[in-house]
Structure 1
Amino acid sequence: MLVFKKNIYYHPLESLQGAAADRPYGGDEEPQPIAFHLIHKALAAGREVVEELTSSDEASSFEKLKVLFPHTARFGGLPVMDPLSKNLLDGLFDTRTWFFMNCYHLCYLYDALQEIVEDYSYSDAQRRREVIPELRGEPINFNHFLNQYFFNTAFLISAKRYNGMTPLERRQLGKLDHAYFGAVLPKDDPGQPEDPTMGKVINAIPPEPEELSLTPHPGNPYASGALSL
């Protein structure tokens, strides 16, 4: 199961894929199965694209990847996206283990989600109901969704801006979003290492093989005090 800022697993996994939400939106603390469905649809669609392009020649497949996954394609082609897409989709449905994602995973997921949201947003009401039936044609506020479920999207900033930051400024990336939504921020810890994948994603450095794997987390990350912002 994938760890997000808010738990997307509100219902038994076996009922999530086929269940329609009675109310796609509610209060912040109410069950919102649309989050699971949207992430699942994005990862499933992304996986289909990657599998389809594996049979294409390398040059044409990379051109398509740059259109469909503009941020991810900066640091890798199919050899990177194939394990990324598979690991994320497998991790979403692995009921035995919680998994943390690094910036390579989150960047790919961002692109996959953006593709689904754009298709949905620029479609007519009938097409919207086909893409995400649970929303019943209602609009998607993508920025609000990201702020609710992503810890931050700092991996999207420009390399020039990031490389000019101090270590303290880098550690603070994304925390303003948490403050805006009422989160209690931890004090800055100079001894806490910076996520090395953030700088690599921003500077378009391909991942090492081990960085394509999800990081298992023992126990429940949403237990009191277990999940640190």
Structure 2
Amino acid sequence: PHHTISPVALVGGGANPMPGEISLAHNGVLFLDEFPEFSRSVLEVMRQPLEDRTISISRARYSIEYPAGFMLVASMNPCPCGYYNHPTRQCLCQPGAVDRYLNRISGPLLDRIDIQVEILPVDFDEMQSGRPGESSETIRQRVVSARKVQEERFSDCKGVHCNAQMTSRLLSTHVRPTPEAMKILRDTMIRLNMSARAYDRILKVSRTIADLAGSPDILPEHMREAVSYRALDRSGWGKY
């Protein structure tokens, strides 16, 4: 959807109730480009569906519930001019503009995004290096294997099929990092003053990383990688 979309078009409803974009993306991907350009009201209505995987709409004439089990993928520039933290170009934004731009996305909404990654520009020589990477087929096999592990893990849990759907109770049962890995998480939580929701998200991601690596245990390297995927939790994140 374009960033000028209305809250009703995103969540559904209207005079003649119709599902919105988040329900049309059920069991698929909802991609929001130029994330901070969406209105605050549009972004905030996604908080409840991201948590509950359903969207409830109550109006004077009707009350309806739509499915909303979607994967949210969003992209954004680091600042209005696009050059904040660029290795070769200078940011042209006025003082405070970067903070105002990033503050368009609320902390509670960021908390619900499992993986936050900063992508730096790739220079010409690196693009032309021709270094081979993993094939899509190899990656797919690893993902399928991890999914099978998760299906077996949650075979007795109705409505739960993957790590992302774990409740807090299931987290305490199925996610038990090694003492060294838990120390990494503890130190990070204290240093960055992270929320309880971020704690749950990091544990889920670390469990998935371990599944992709074929490891029954969550090791320190899995926890470090999971923690590194919380870029926007860091104060002054664009400077690192």
The two structures have a TM-score, normalised by structure 1, of 0.25
Higher relative contact order (CA 8 A, sep 6+): 1
Determine which structure has more spread, i.e. the larger CA radius of gyration. 2
Larger proportion of strand:
2
Which of the pair is proportionally richer in helix?
1
